[in-house]
Amino acid sequence: ALLLNSRMLDLFWDKEEVGFFFTSNDHELLIARAKTLEDGVIHSGNSVAVMNLLRLHELTLDESLKDKAVQTLCLFNGRMRKAPAAASFMIGALDFYLEPPISVVLAARRDDGEIAPFVSALNSAYFPNKVVSLADPADPKTAELLPVLRGKKPSAGKPVAYVCRDSTCSAPILEPQDLASRLGGKASGKASRKDVEKKVEVR
């Protein structure tokens, strides 16, 4: 995902005026390179790019990814206000940015069947704006790439879960039902309306 995202930035990011072009920089010469926002039968490229940047930021803590996402949100702010029905996925990405997301780390071996109840707990209800990752003790290379996984280990060989908000993680959650209960709590640190107007402005 990181390599693909890096390639996307190389090919489609507008280094002068921010946002993502619909065509790559090695495409045949066109009269103009468009930047799409409107969702059709598939989500617009800019919307998906922003959501991916924000989710990858949660995993990597790379502020440059978040910065590009915010710049793109600002670029399309006016168009989102004028035609929100045409930009539903971008508005979803905006909500992800404004409402602190929940990061859930499952600590277990990838082939451990006992992780299934935790996955079921994650899917038991609609928990918007969550990012789920796996800390597999047999895969230390991934933990090197993703700071959110560091220090997360199974307990006595049993799968556990951690719920993290604003870079602060819970103690290990040992039971799947406790994970579902924890996710149902209200996130703290919600941005104020003044913050929204300040952060997302027409450029």
Query: Mind listing the pLDDT tens digit for each residue in 145-191?
Result: 999 999 999 999 999 999 998 778 899 999 999 998 888 744 334 44
Alpha carbon distance, N-terminus to C-terminus of the chain:
30
Confidence band of 14 (pLDDT split at 50, 70, 90): very high
% of the chain with per-residue pLDDT over 70? 90
Token pair in block for residue 84: 């929100």
- Write the CB contacts of 142 (distance below 8 Å, at least 6 apart in sequence): 136, 149
Type of residue numbered 111: D
Give 118-143 pLDDT, tens digit per residue: 999 999 888 888 999 999 999 999 99
Element (H, E) at 105: strand 102-107
DSSP tag of 136: -
Nearest-angstrom CA–CA distance, 139 and 176? 23
**Residue 37: which pLDDT band, with cuts at 50, 70 and 90?**
confident
| Orientation of helix 45-60 relative to helix 63-75, angle to 10° | 150
Q: Give the separation between CA 161 and CA 108, rounded to whole angstroms.
A: 9
pLDDT of residue 190: 46
pLDDT for position 201: 53
Of residues 135 and 25, more confidence is placed in 135
User: What would the two tokens of residue 7 be?
Assistant: 């390639």
Q: In this model, does residue 203 exceed pLDDT 90?
A: no
- Report the distance separating Cα 117 and Cα 15, nearest Å: 45
Strand order in the sheet with 130-135: 130-135, 102-107, 160-165, 168-169
What's the average model confidence in pLDDT over 77-81? 91
**Which one has a higher pLDDT value, 191 or 45?**
45
Mean pLDDT of all residues in 15-22: 91
Does residue 179 contact residue 161 with C-beta atoms inside 8 Å? yes
Give the per-residue pLDDT at 186. Answer: 41
Confidence of residue 111 (pLDDT cuts 50, 70, 90): very high
- Tokens at 97, concatenated: 């940015």
What is the pLDDT of the chain when averaged over all its residues? 87
Q: Does the structure show a pLDDT above 70 at 192?
A: no
